[in-house]
């Protein structure tokens, strides 16, 4: 059973799929979050050199591409942090000494600090971070992937472990940023977006806002409609929106970081705040930076109004079900909140957008005729007609048989 499990995991990880790579990236995010909140690390460490990402034991069974270690390292760099991570592209002489030691280790459990030559003389960083993939999985049906990574932080000055932990990175595809809508639904979303943009207060002028994909049904579609409405209204010059879509790794990291901090209302450390603001560039004046979030709270894309024939037509079609209800009205309500990043994510503005679209049914007679031409009614009518013809044929045949001259 253990061999089968290892083989299955090997197939999953050997594929080095995009979703597994995203899970590794998410594990890097979790690692930085844990390191940032540890008091011992905050007290003693400023610069961290990421040494290596080891594969699960036995190493021969799990052959991830070398780029996965680079993905983990890039993930460490992408998260806003008061810690500074040192990469392999700099200080190559110091890296050569580190790699000479750790390349000989099968994994970080086999590394003996007592035999590590002169690690306390390395000037590259205050600590060395080592990571090892413990296990992982990926769903063949949904593509969702998880990877568990064990971590050790070795203090350079003492060559001893200062911190350790295990994090789990996860990824599941939330769908495309641009969601397909029916023409009627799109008209409704556009109306809601225009309504929300028209309600934006003048107090937001000069703000730069990081926009998270809206939550709720068709949230990503509403995100795009809101950006379109903002541009159409000419307000991008007064309120600069920095979209945080799913596709870019750095944007995903920043979006998750800001979402989690906003949820707890934690103030950002000064060095982290500067890194966040630098992503906005010169778009925000006087460091007026906000987080724009929201949700599609009501989304009746297909509200129902009875338009199917009733009474005698139901009797003709032999319908045994209630009258079918066709969509003639579309409604959507979305809420938008702006939170000041410099003020512990305090809400500085909140607006809602309401959209409604009524389909022109061109009068009762036309609408009833269209409703009559539904698959249910046509099929039942056809069945009744065919059955009637069969009965008529049988009746005619029987009458002729009974009236035949003997």
* The pLDDT of residue 404: 59
* The pLDDT of residue 294: 93
* The pLDDT of residue 2: 38
H or E segment at 19?
helix 18-36
List pLDDT tens digits, range 175-186.
Answer: 555 567 778 788
In this structure, of 134-138, 151-155, 281-285, 367-371, the range with the lowest mean pLDDT score is 281-285
**Helix, strand, or coil (residue 303):** coil
* The pLDDT of residue 6: 40
Cβ within 8 Å of residue 89, ≥6 positions away: none
Which residue bears the tokens 């769908």?
175
* The pLDDT of residue 15: 42
Rounded-to-integer distance, Cα 11 and Cα 64, Å:
10
List pLDDT tens digits, range 255-273.
Answer: 878 888 888 777 777 777 7
The contacts found for 13-18 with CB under 8 angstroms, 24 or more apart, are: 13/55, 13/56, 13/62, 13/64, 13/133, 13/136, 14/62, 14/63, 14/64, 15/138, 16/64, 16/65, 16/67, 16/68, 17/138, 17/143, 17/145
* The pLDDT of residue 240: 87
Rounded-to-integer distance, Cα 177 and Cα 259, Å:
18
List pLDDT tens digits, range 229-244.
Answer: 999 998 888 888 888 7
Are 209 and 239 a contacting pair, CB within 8 Å? yes
Beta strands in 219-324 (DSSP E): 240-243, 289-300, 305-306
- The pairing of strands 208-211 and 240-243 is parallel
**pLDDT above 70 as % of the chain:** 66
Within 79-167, residue ranges assigned H as helices are 92-102
* The pLDDT of residue 96: 74
pTM summary value: 0.61
Q: Of 270, 25, 269, 42, whose CA–CA distance to 153 is shortest?
A: 42
Are 226 and 259 a contacting pair, CB within 8 Å? no
In the predicted structure, residue 31 carries a pLDDT above the cut 50: yes
In the predicted structure, residue 348 carries a pLDDT above the cut 90: yes
Average pLDDT, the chain: 75
Out of 11-20, 287-296, 330-339, the most confident range is: 330-339
pLDDT-derived band at 378, boundaries 50, 70, 90 = low
List pLDDT tens digits, range 293-336.
Answer: 999 987 776 555 544 544 444 555 555 444 545 556 788 999 99
In the predicted structure, residue 3 carries a pLDDT above the cut 50: no
In the predicted structure, residue 22 carries a pLDDT above the cut 80: yes
* The pLDDT of residue 62: 45
In the predicted structure, residue 162 carries a pLDDT above the cut 80: yes
Which residue bears the tokens 């700099």?
90
Q: Residue 42, exposed/middle/buried by CB under 10 A (0-12, 13-18, 19+)? A: middle
List pLDDT tens digits, range 190-224.
Answer: 999 999 999 999 999 989 899 988 888 788 889 88
What is the mean pLDDT of the segment spanning 381-394?
Answer: 79
In the predicted structure, residue 351 carries a pLDDT above the cut 90: yes
In the predicted structure, residue 48 carries a pLDDT above the cut 70: yes
In the predicted structure, residue 352 carries a pLDDT above the cut 80: yes
Higher-confidence residue of 198 and 362: namely 198
List pLDDT tens digits, range 72-120.
Answer: 888 888 888 888 888 776 666 677 777 776 766 656 666 666 666 556 6
In the predicted structure, residue 376 carries a pLDDT above the cut 50: yes
Per the omega criterion (within 30 degrees of 0), is the bond before 58 cis?
yes
């Amino acid at each position: 059973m253990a061999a089968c499990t290892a083989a299955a995991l090997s197939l999953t990880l050997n594929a080095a799929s995009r979703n597994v790579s995203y899970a590794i990236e998410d594990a890097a995010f979790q690692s930085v979050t844990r390191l940032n909140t540890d008091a011992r690390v905050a007290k003693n460490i400023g610069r961290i050199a990421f040494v290596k990402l080891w594969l699960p034991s036995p190493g021969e069974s799990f052959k991830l591409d070398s780029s996965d270690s680079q993905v983990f390292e890039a993930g460490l760099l992408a998260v806003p942090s008061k810690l500074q991570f040192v990469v392999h592209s700099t200080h190559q002489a110091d890296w050569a000494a580190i790699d000479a030691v750790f390349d000989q280790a099968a994994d970080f459990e086999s590394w003996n600090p007592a035999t590590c030559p002169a690690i306390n003389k390395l000037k590259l960083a205050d600590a060395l971070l080592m990571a090892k993939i413990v296990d992982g999985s990926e769903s063949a049906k949904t593509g969702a992937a998880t990877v568990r990574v064990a971590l050790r932080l070795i203090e350079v000055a003492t060559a001893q472990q200062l911190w350790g932990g295990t994090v789990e990175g996860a990824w599941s595809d939330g769908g495309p940023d641009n969601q397909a809508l029916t023409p009627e639904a799109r008209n409704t979303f556009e109306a809601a977006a225009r309504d929300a943009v028209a309600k934006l207060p003048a107090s937001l002028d000069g703000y730069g806002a990081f926009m998270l994909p809206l939550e709720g049904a068709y949230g990503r579609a509403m995100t795009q409609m809101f950006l379109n409405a903002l541009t159409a209204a000419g307000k991008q010059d007064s309120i600069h929106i920095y979209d945080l879509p799913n596709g870019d790794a750095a944007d995903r990291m920043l979006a998750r970081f800001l979402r989690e901090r906003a949820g707890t209302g934690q103030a950002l450390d000064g060095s982290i705040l500067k890194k966040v603001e630098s992503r906005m560039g010169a778009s925000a004046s006087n460091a007026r930076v906000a987080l724009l979030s929201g949700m599609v709270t009501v989304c009746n894309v297909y509200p129902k109004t009875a338009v199917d024939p009733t009474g005698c037509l139901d009797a003709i079609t032999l319908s045994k079900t209630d009258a079918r209800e066709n969509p003639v009205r579309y409604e959507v309500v979305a809420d938008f909140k702006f939170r000041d990043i410099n003020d512990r994510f305090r809400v500085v503005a909140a607006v809602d957008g309401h959209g409604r679209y009524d389909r022109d049914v061109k009068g009762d007679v036309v609408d009833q005729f269209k409703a009559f031409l539904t698959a249910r009614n046509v099929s039942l009518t056809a069945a009744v007609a065919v059955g009637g013809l069969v009965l008529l044929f049988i009746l005619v045949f029987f009458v002729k048989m009974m009236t035949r001259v003997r």
